[in-house]
Amino acid sequence: MSERPTSPPQDAVADAVPQNWVDLYAPAFAKPYLRLMRADRPIGSWLLMWPCWWSAALASQSAGLPQDGDPLSLFPDPWFLFLFALGAIVMRGAGCTYNDFVDRDIDGGVARTRSRPIPSGAVSPKAAFLFAIFLSLIGFLVLIQFNAFTIGLGIASLLVIAVYPFMKRITYWPQIVLGLAMNWGALMGWAAVTGSLSLVPLLLFFGAICWTIGYDTIYAHQDKEDDALLGLKSTALKFGEKTKPWLWLFYGLTSLSFIGAGLLAGLGLAYYLVLALGIWHLARQVWRLDIAKPALCLQLFRSNRDFGLIMFIAAVAGTLGPPLL
């Protein structure tokens, strides 16, 4: 006898993963706030965390030779990785809560977002704003575990986070500002290890911004009709039927930037071999994309978590051999 399909809870958010842990196990009083910080959709936390981890891994290689001949001494500090993971979760939550607070009137007019906690009435705007402050304070406690230079970088990112929700009202390129916000960790990971910046994290940062423009364009194709009716802008509307050529451009820039960062960081051959798998992963997204299929767009967007993992494996693998050049 086949099992009857389980319908999603009536208060579940429309684009959340079905049967996620928040819907199934979280206490009723906590569900609206967990949904507000996107705990039911962890993909954003992954995408925010990976650039931090990439950068820390590359910085660990560039910081010096293996200690006592042990190549594992070049592996990024696990404590730093934990802090960046925790910071990604809480700051992604704070950013999403703030974004929903700013967009509370817009979200009610978009099919995919009208079930979110603020437009649905599950959380009041005032409570959401206070929750964003609470999460930001936790993020600050994480930030002050790093050196002073990294703390300053982290504080500087708040300006980018503050202006991002307004960009779709102004420009067809809000994904550039999102790229700055989502990939600030490409600078912070390096700074946490070295106490400074160099061309390596800047190349990594640029490549990651191009990556974000690519994956968020795919994501934005889900909302393009509603966005057009509401007078909002996005690269999905800007590119339209020419989305694939634009994705080839931005993913190509991502690939070249990551290759250049690896060369400057002195990574070994294994980095480029694993990175080739990541480049294939990006290319496959473009090949498979059909902008008329929202479910496929969401699936391809979520697959960028796997690209992030591939890139981290590449960065770590690159420390285990002599530099390519």
- Would residue 286 count as lying in a domain? yes
Q: What is the pLDDT of residues 231-286, one digit of tens each?
A: 899 999 999 999 999 999 999 999 999 999 999 999 999 999 999 999 999 999 99
3-state secondary structure at position 76: coil
Rg (CA), the chain: 20
Amino acid at 298: L
> Domain of 58?
32-62+72-320
pTM: 0.91
Contact status, residue 206 vs residue 55, Cβ threshold 8 Å: no
- Would residue 17 count as lying in a domain? no
Count Cβ atoms below 10 Å from residue 9 Cβ, excluding itself.
Answer: 13
Backbone angles phi, psi at 323, to 5 degrees: -55, 145
Mean pLDDT along residues 123-148 = 96
- Would residue 1 count as lying in a domain? no
Per the DSSP assignment, residues forming a β-bridge with 70 are 67
- Would residue 202 count as lying in a domain? yes
Q: Which pLDDT belongs to residue 67?
A: 47
Name the percent of the chain lying above pLDDT 90.
74
Query: SS3 helix, strand, coil % of the chain, rounded to 5?
Result: 70, 0, 25
- Would residue 16 count as lying in a domain? no
Q: What is the pLDDT of residues 157-200, one digit of tens each?
A: 999 999 999 999 999 999 999 999 999 999 999 999 999 999 99
- Would residue 23 count as lying in a domain? no
Q: What is the CATH number of the domain that holds 234?
A: 1.10.357.140
Q: What is the pLDDT of residues 100-135, one digit of tens each?
A: 999 888 877 777 778 888 898 899 999 999 999 999
- Would residue 305 count as lying in a domain? yes
Please give the tally of structural domains in the chain: 1
